[in-house]
Amino acid sequence: MKKYNTQAIVLKSTKFRDADKIFTLYTKDEGKISAIARGVRKISSRRAGNLDSLNVISVKISESKGGFKNIDEVKTLQSFKELKKDLETSKRAYFILELVHKTVEEGEKDERLYDLIIRSLKLLSTPRCNPDLAVVYFEIVFMKELGYQLDFENCVKCQKEIFSSISRKYAFNISRGGFVCGDCSGSGFPVSEDLVSWMGKIWKGDLKLKEKDLIKEIDSLLKRYIDLKLESRFKSLEI
């Protein structure tokens, strides 16, 4: 039997038998895993509260030869209390967890993705950070981690530096995964020069953008991009 300790974020739980629950965790060392916590639904269980969704935990796992995983011990490292209390931030935090839960396969180790989830949740719980901006940051870096990095520097059609075009009319082309410069008559959503430049800055970790409407516009572009790319990812997985 394999035993190990790791850190994890609790993505989800489902009831299992009378007293047990199955938890989906995103762990630092093993990627996404499902593990059973026995007796956790009993009122007397001291482990129950530690395993709330969104908690960052330190966990001891034992894995049988058949691959079944048990949660033996658990300790809360961070519970994001303030974030959970606020409807606006908690809604966005659960969106991040859901996206990871739905798109990442079990057993794909990715420590950078683990760090990204934690970093984004910390951003969300920072009162001075616009919650949509924290989500935008997560979406941009998450897509890169999955292999769908957007190009913020060059035109996806002519490959020239995006701001070198004479015309300042830019477009975002979802299927090509980037911007089309003003000199190419490419199809896509018309976007402002400001939007192009801010998306590149956010990608580099500059989160000073204050304009709420622009943040919303970037968020909705990214969500369409995610929908399109991950839909085809699911299809290819089914085949």
Site for Zn ion, rule CB under 5 A: 155, 157-158, 181, 184
Residue number of the CB closest to Zn ion reads: 155
The first and second tokens of residue 118, run together, are: 């934690």
Closer to Zn ion at the Cβ: 21 or 157?
157
Closer to Zn ion at the Cβ: 97 or 199?
199
Could you tell me the smallest distance in angstroms from the CB atom of residue 167 to Zn ion?
A: 10
Closer to Zn ion at the Cβ: 116 or 156?
156
Could you tell me the smallest distance in angstroms from the CB atom of residue 128 to Zn ion?
A: 37
Give helix then strand counts, H and E, for the chain.
Answer: 6, 8
Closer to Zn ion at the Cβ: 121 or 180?
180
Could you tell me the smallest distance in angstroms from the CB atom of residue 166 to Zn ion?
A: 11
Could you tell me the smallest distance in angstroms from the CB atom of residue 174 to Zn ion?
A: 16
Closer to Zn ion at the Cβ: 123 or 196?
196
- Which sign, positive or negative, has the C-alpha torsion 198, 204, 210, 213? positive
Count of other CB atoms within 10 angstroms of residue 65: 7
Could you tell me the smallest distance in angstroms from the CB atom of residue 37 to Zn ion?
A: 54
Closer to Zn ion at the Cβ: 125 or 173?
173
The first and second tokens of residue 15, run together, are: 């009831």
The first and second tokens of residue 25, run together, are: 């965790």
- Rounded to whole angstroms, how far apart are CA atoms 214 and 212? 5
Could you tell me the smallest distance in angstroms from the CB atom of residue 81 to Zn ion?
A: 48
Q: Which helix (H) or strand (E) holds 20?
A: strand 20-27
- Rounded to whole angstroms, how far apart are CA atoms 122 and 137? 12
Closer to Zn ion at the Cβ: 70 or 165?
165
Identify whether the C-beta of residue 37 lies closer than 8 Å to the C-beta of residue 74: yes
Sheet holding 189-191, edge to edge: 178-180, 170-173, 189-191
Could you tell me the smallest distance in angstroms from the CB atom of residue 175 to Zn ion?
A: 16
- Which sign, positive or negative, has the C-alpha torsion 192, 198, 200, 203? negative
- Contact residues for 144 (Cβ-Cβ < 8 A; gap 6+): 150
